[in-house]
Amino acid sequence: MTTYVSVGELDDDALMAELRRIAAEVDPVPPSVIEAARAAIFTRHLDHELAELVADSADAGSGLLYEAVRGPGARRRAC
């Protein structure tokens, strides 16, 4: 059974909750969109984390030596 509520009876938070419920029922978010959003959030700081790893590897006190993957004059090979 559907219960109808007058908009005037709801405060802002309750109105937003009711609108979210209706939107989720009528037009749910596709799973692929949710998956893409999670992937975007997961990788948002990836460049910063990679820069930290490279900086740590380049640190002379760590005992590790950082070298470029390709040296000067190196050619790419076709697969």
Q: The tokens of 62 are what?
A: 């760590």
Q: C-alpha 18: how far from its chain's center?
A: 27
Confidence band of 70 (pLDDT split at 50, 70, 90)? low
DSSP 8-state class, residue 29: P
Is the pLDDT higher at 34 or at 69? 34
- Dihedral angle at the C-alpha atoms of 61, 53, 68, 47, nearest 10 degrees? -150
Confidence band of 23 (pLDDT split at 50, 70, 90)? very high
Would you say residue 38 has pLDDT above 90? yes
Is the pLDDT higher at 1 or at 53? 53
Would you say residue 64 has pLDDT above 60? no
Distance CA 22, CA 10 (A): 15
**Can you list the alpha helix ranges (DSSP code H) found in 1-79?**
12-26, 31-42, 46-58
Query: What does the pLDDT read at residue 46?
Result: 87
Q: C-alpha 4: how far from its chain's center?
A: 37
Task: Tell me the CA end-to-end span of the chain in Å, nearest whole number.
Answer: 63
